[in-house]
Structure 1
Amino acid sequence: METLKVGDLTIHWLNGGVTHMDGGAMFGVVPKPLWSKKYEVNEYNQIELRTDPLFFQWEGKNVLIESGIGKGKLNEKQKRNYGVHEESDIEASLSSLGLTPNDIDVVLMTHMHFDHACGLTKFEGEELVPVFPNAVIYTSQVEWDEMRNPNVRSRNTYWKENWESIQSQVETFKGEIEVLPGIKMVHTGGHSDGHSIILIEHGKETFIHMADIMPTHAHKNPLWVLAYDDYPMTSIGAKEKWIGKAIEEEFWFLFYHDAVYRGIKWNKDGEIMDKVMREK
């Protein structure tokens, strides 16, 4: 389990499973000769995308960012189509920290696509129940509304299995919200209409989790957006704003999907100042 420790804050990456998605879809209109220089691709034109939640403790609260791909939620066809070679093992990851899913107090969901939200529920027999029964789950109001009433495009990724049993736990917001002192969620749109990013201020350091408008380090160019983005120009605008600010002010970038870096910090010249590599 990789960690990033800054002062008395330690961020842990839990084992949330993995997908392998089409590289062309993940880089949109960017030609393969360009993006393949920055991110490894296999013989099926797929790139590895982790689905590993970030866990940390904050003012006595156990906080999780995203929930993983889940366990026992996907059928064999879905596993094949999404390249899921490994499902979540969040319980084991938390157990190594002396915790259980019952100990999670807060879950921050940047959006509710299946590869982020499948880990919120699990089967007990034939019934779906919450994985984190004592947690408050935060997402934007726009995202929550579409999750429950998806359109013809988004219904392929917003599944009732991921929201019906957690309805009483969900808290929504419009614009932005300070979930805990120093932890803010900001609605950006772009990847989905309700997509949000997360900012964490700790001492002199600021961390930014841009979720799926910047799913990997190779998506640093604001114009490199996903074919999966519902509103690509909104993604580009949000990336220009936040990536520019984050690099100018030397934020830590935190990733959920990146198979190479867990976290990275660039200087104003685009050079890597600090990093946490994923152990393979």
Structure 2
Amino acid sequence: MERLTFGSYQLTWLNGGVTHMDGGAMFGVVPRPLWSRKYEANENNQIELRTDPILVQNGDKNILIEAGIGNGRLNEKQRRNFGVTEESSIDQSLEALGLTKEDIDMVVMTHMHFDHCLGLTDIKDGQFISAFPNATIYTSKVEWDEMRNPNIRSRNTYWKENWETIQNQVVTFEGEIEVAPGFKMVHTGGHSDGHSILLIEQNDELMIHMADLMPTHAHENVLWVLAYDDYPMTSISQKQKYLPLGKEKQAWFIFYHDAEYRAIRYNESGEIVDCVKRERTK
């Protein structure tokens, strides 16, 4: 498991599973000859996308960023369609750190699409149960409202099985909220109407989790947005706001989906000046 120390926070990437999604959908109108130089595709034109939650600890709280795809939550057809070759092993990841799911104090959800929130629930004796029974689960009010009342497009990713069991643990916010010292959720919209990013500030340094506005390092170009985005122009405008800010401050950009990098720091010219690479297992 890769780790990164940032001020008083220790970040550890857990194993939340993997999907393989269509590269054309993940890069929208960008032609394959361009995006494939930056991110590898398989013979089916799918790209590897991790779904690895990030455990953030400060000696007081255990905070989880996103929840992974869970275990046993997808049927055979879904696993095939979403290119799932590995399900979550968060229990084992936490055990290696001397923790269990009961030790998680909060889960911050940038949005509630299936590949981010399946891991919020487990199945026991054929029944859905909360995977993190002692955690407060944060997401934006806009996201939570749409999850429970999806439209004709979003109903394909907002499933009632993913919210009914955990609804009493959910706390919503409008605009922005500080969930821990220097740890802020900011509602941006774009990828989904309720999508949020995370800003963590420590000792005048900045860390940014752009979530699915920039799911991989290959999406660093502000115009490279997903065909999955409900509001692509909002995605672009938010990237225009936060990417230059992050580069100016040489902030850490951290990733949930990237199969190659866990975290990257850019200079103002967009060159990588520091990084944490994912350790691939054979």
Deviations 1:31-82 (A, max 9, x none): 1100000001111000000000000213501000000011010000000000
Task: Give CA-to-partner distance per residue, 1:156-180, whole Å, 9 cap, x none.
Answer: 0001111000011000000111111
Q: State how 1:172-187 maps to structure 2 within 5 Å.
A: 172-187=172-187
Q: Which residue of 1 aligns with 2:45?
A: 45
SS of the equivalent of 2:250 reads: coil
Q: 1:204 is matched with which residue?
A: 204
* Percent of aligned pairs with the same amino acid: 69
Amino acid at match of 2:52: D
Q: Secondary structure at the match of 2:34?
A: helix
What secondary structure, in the 3-state scheme, does the structure 2 residue paired with 1:177 have?
A: strand
For the Cα contact (< 8 Å) 2:8–2:202, is it kept in 1?
A: no
**Other-structure match for 1:112:** 112
Counterparts of 1:62 and 1:107 in 2: how far apart (Å)? Answer: 9
What are the within-5 Å matches in structure 2 for residues 125-140 of structure 1? 125-140=125-140
Question: Distance between the aligned counterparts of 2:129 and 2:173, measured in 1?
Answer: 24
Write out aligned runs for 1:148-163 (5 A). 148-163=148-163
Which residues of structure 1 form unaligned runs of 5+?
Answer: none
Shift of 1:5: 2.1
> Which residue is equivalent to 1:84?
84
Q: 1:26 maps to which residue?
A: 26
* Cα separation, 2, equivalents of 1:117 and 1:78: 15
* In structure 2, distance between residues paired with 1:6 and 1:176: 21
CA distance in 2, matches of 1:239, 1:91: 34
Match in the other structure for 1:102:
102
| Residues 79-114 of structure 1: per-residue CA shift (max 9 Å, x gap) | 000000000010000000000000000100000000
- Read off the aligned partner of 2:50 and give its amino acid letter: R
Matches for 1:235-250 after TM superposition, within 5 Å: 235-250=235-250
Q: Report how far residue 181 of structure 1 moved.
A: 1.7
2:244–2:268 CA contact under 8 A, matched in 1: no
Aligned partner letter, 2:33: P
Alpha-carbon separation, structure 1, partners of 2:162 and 2:122: 9
**Quick one: distance in 2 between partners of 1:161 and 1:58?**
32
Aligned-partner SS, 2:201? strand
RMSD: 0.8
How far apart, in 1, do the equivalents of 2:203 and 2:137 lie? 25
Query: Which is further off, 255-264 or 59-68?
Result: 59-68
SS at match of 1:4: strand
Matched residues, number: 280
| Aligned counterpart, 2:191 | 191
Scaled by the length of structure 2, the TM-score of the pair is 0.98
Please name the residue that 2:65 is paired with.
65
- The offset of 1:118, in angstroms, is 0.1
Which amino acid in structure 2 is aligned with residue 65 of structure 1?
I
Question: What letter is aligned with 2:217?
Answer: H
Q: Distance in 2 between matches of 1:247 and 1:93?
A: 32
Amino acid at match of 2:199: L
| Structure 2: gaps (5+ residues) | none
Query: Which amino acid counterpart does residue 139 of structure 1 have in structure 2?
Result: T
Offset at 1:8?
4.4
* TM-score between the two structures when normalised by the length of structure 1: 0.98
